[in-house]
């Protein structure tokens, strides 16, 4: 694996190795404080970020490496300079690139023209670092992944697409409930159905949040309007009205279900304060695990290049 572009492209064995290394890194971070000494990671971000930027910057620092943050004004990707020229130039300076962008094809182009690993730090289509950290968090909580029932309620967006692949590949059962017209990507749904069948996991999509959460171990949601969709916020708020994670929906899930959210959360929209601040929410464990999992990914991708 040269790059981390989407969960779909992660070999099953690699996911297991990433999680195993994450466990070791989390337990004994000092043992790895020179793992990436002398290495530099460029962070090209075309959208805002708290978790992704900070966890990569701190993670790289803890591994003995260095980061350079290149915000929207800096590189002006595809406008000031073609993506392939950015890729080829940065390949001469740094050891890896994290790209947060709009169109997923930007990540593919960056990876195709880079001689160094490219990590997708979120595109409109997927958010693989998030899904990996999320499933690591589930594993930490339940001690296993196989057979865990995850319900995703809300927009069939980047986070949802990545979670679907991660769940069906790693043996979790996933049910998605979204309003009509806001389902996950059609190709993701097709491929996930086939993968779930092959792996013996369950995958279902519907427009019924109550049905989706019934009997779930984990209830997951994300914002109704993602970065770049701000103009649609009002229309979306109407369409998603019945897809809020609140006490009534959680009651249907049963007393033991945990609540996950990739954050940032729009409190009072996709999730109530009561649920997000409640004892069943594990959102800050997810946020913390972003850093541990990404450190493992960085070692796997950048570490073996001499
Ligand atoms: N979950 C996540 O990616 O958060 P940021 O947008 O703050 O990086
Ligand atoms: N779906 C959200 C995720 C943010 C981490 C977005 O793309 O804005």
pLDDT, tens digit (0-9, with 9 covering 90-100), for 132-172:
999 999 999 999 999 999 999 999 999 999 999 999 999 99
User: How many domains does one find in the chain?
Assistant: 2
d(CA 227, CA 109): 21
* CB 74, CB 127: distance < 8 Å: no
DSSP assignment letter at 217 = S
Q: Which of 47, 49, 134, 226 to mutate to test the pocket of ligand 1 (most atoms within 8 A of CB)?
A: 49
Identify whether residues 154 and 255 lie together within a single domain. Answer: yes
d(CA 121, CA 49): 10
Within 8 A by CB and 6+ apart from 15, the residues are: 132, 166, 169, 170
d(CA 120, CA 4): 6
Identify whether residues 115 and 237 lie together within a single domain. Answer: no
Identify whether residues 137 and 103 lie together within a single domain. Answer: no
Q: Residue whose CA is closest, atom 4 of ligand 1? A: 51
* Residue 44 belongs to domain with CATH number: 3.40.50.1370
pLDDT at 49 over 70: yes
Residue 1 lies in a domain: no
Count of CA atoms in the C-beta half-sphere (13 A) of 234: 1
Identify whether residues 203 and 220 lie together within a single domain. Answer: yes
Identify whether residues 123 and 213 lie together within a single domain. Answer: no
Identify whether residues 228 and 176 lie together within a single domain. Answer: yes
Neighbouring-strand partners of residue 302: none
pLDDT tens by residue, 265-274: 999 999 999 9
> What does the block give as tokens for 86?
């950015």
The dihedral built from the CA positions of residue 17, 19, 25 and 27, taken in this order, carries a sign that is negative
Helix (H) or strand (E) holding 45: strand 40-45
Whether this prediction's pTM lies above 0.95 is answered by yes
What is the DSSP track for 121-175?
S--SS--HHHHHHHHHHHHHHHS--TT-EEEEES--SHHHHHHHHHHHHHT-EEE
pLDDT tens by residue, 216-247: 999 999 999 999 999 999 999 999 999 999 99
pLDDT at 24 over 70: yes
Q: Please give the distance, rounded to the nearest whole angstrom, from the Cα atom of residue 182 to the centre of ligand 2.
A: 15
pLDDT category of residue 83 using cuts at 50, 70 and 90: very high
pLDDT at 174 over 50: yes
Q: Please give the distance, rounded to the nearest whole angstrom, from the Cα atom of residue 21 to the centre of ligand 2.
A: 26
> What does the block give as tokens for 32?
């790895």
Q: Please give the distance, rounded to the nearest whole angstrom, from the Cα atom of residue 198 to the centre of ligand 2.
A: 30
DSSP assignment letter at 183 = P
pLDDT category of residue 203 using cuts at 50, 70 and 90: very high
Q: Which ligand is nearest to the CA of 289?
A: 1
Query: Is residue 160 lining ligand 2, measured as CB closer than 6 Å?
Result: no
Phi-psi region of 181 (alpha: psi -120 to 50; beta: other; left: phi over 0): left
> What does the block give as tokens for 236?
């979306």
- Report, as an integer, the average pLDDT of 68-92: 95
How high does pLDDT run on average in the chain? 97
Atom of ligand 2 nearest to the CA of 262: 5
pLDDT tens by residue, 109-125: 999 999 999 999 999 99
Q: Residue whose CA is closest, atom 7 of ligand 1? A: 50
pLDDT at 306 over 60: no
Q: Which residues are catalytic?
A: 100, 127, 130, 222, 262, 290
pLDDT at 178 over 60: yes
Say whether the peptide bond before residue 264 is cis (omega within 30 degrees of 0): yes
- Report, as an integer, the average pLDDT of 91-99: 98
Identify whether residues 247 and 298 lie together within a single domain. Answer: no
> What does the block give as tokens for 271?
């999730």
Identify whether residues 186 and 247 lie together within a single domain. Answer: yes
Identify whether residues 104 and 147 lie together within a single domain. Answer: no
- pLDDT at res. 254: 85
d(CA 108, CA 119): 10
Residue 104, domain extent: 7-127+290-302
Q: What angle do CA 23, 24, 28 make, to 5 degrees?
A: 120
Neighbouring-strand partners of residue 168: none
Single out the residue of 242, 298, 289 nearest to residue 270, CA to CA: 242
Q: Which of 52, 123, 127 to mutate to test the pocket of ligand 2 (most atoms within 8 A of CB)?
A: 127
- pLDDT at res. 12: 87
- pLDDT at res. 241: 97
């Amino acid at each position: 694996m040269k790059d981390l572009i989407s969960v779909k492209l992660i070999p099953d064995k690699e996911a297991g190795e990433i999680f195993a290394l994450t466990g070791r890194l989390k337990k004994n971070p000092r043992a790895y404080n020179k793992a990436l000494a002398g290495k530099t990671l460029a962070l090209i971000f075309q959208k805002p970020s708290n978790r992704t930027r900070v966890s990569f910057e701190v993670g790289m620092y803890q591994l003995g490496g260095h980061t350079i943050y290149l915000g929207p004004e800096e590189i002006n990707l595809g406008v000031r300079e073609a993506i392939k020229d950015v890729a080829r130039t940065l390949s001469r300076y740094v050891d890896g690139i994290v790209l947060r962008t709009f169109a997923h094809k930007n990540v593919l182009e960056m990876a195709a023209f880079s001689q160094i690993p490219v990590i997708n730090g979120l595109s409109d289509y997927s958010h693989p670092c998030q899904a990996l950290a999320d499933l690591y968090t589930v594993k930490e909580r339940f001690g296993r992944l196989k057979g865990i029932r995850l319900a995703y309620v809300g927009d069939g967006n980047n986070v949802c697409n990545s979670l679907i692949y991660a769940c069906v590949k790693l043996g979790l059962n996933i049910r998605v409930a979204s309003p009509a017209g806001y389902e996950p990507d059609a190709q993701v749904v097709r491929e996930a159905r086939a993968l779930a069948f092959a792996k013996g996991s369950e995958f279902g999509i519907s427009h019924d949040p109550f049905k989706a959460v019934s009997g779930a171990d984990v209830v997951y949601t994300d914002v109704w309007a993602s970065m770049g969709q701000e103009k649609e916020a009002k229309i979306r708020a109407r369409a998603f009205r019945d897809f809020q994670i609140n006490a009534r929906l959680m009651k249907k899930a049963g007393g033991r279900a945990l609540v996950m959210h990739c954050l940032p959360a729009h409190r009072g929209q996709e999730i109530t304060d009561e649920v997000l601040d409640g004892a069943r929410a594990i959102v800050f464990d997810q946020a913390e695990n972003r850093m541990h999992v990404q450190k493992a990914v960085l070692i796997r991708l950048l570490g073996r290049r001499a």
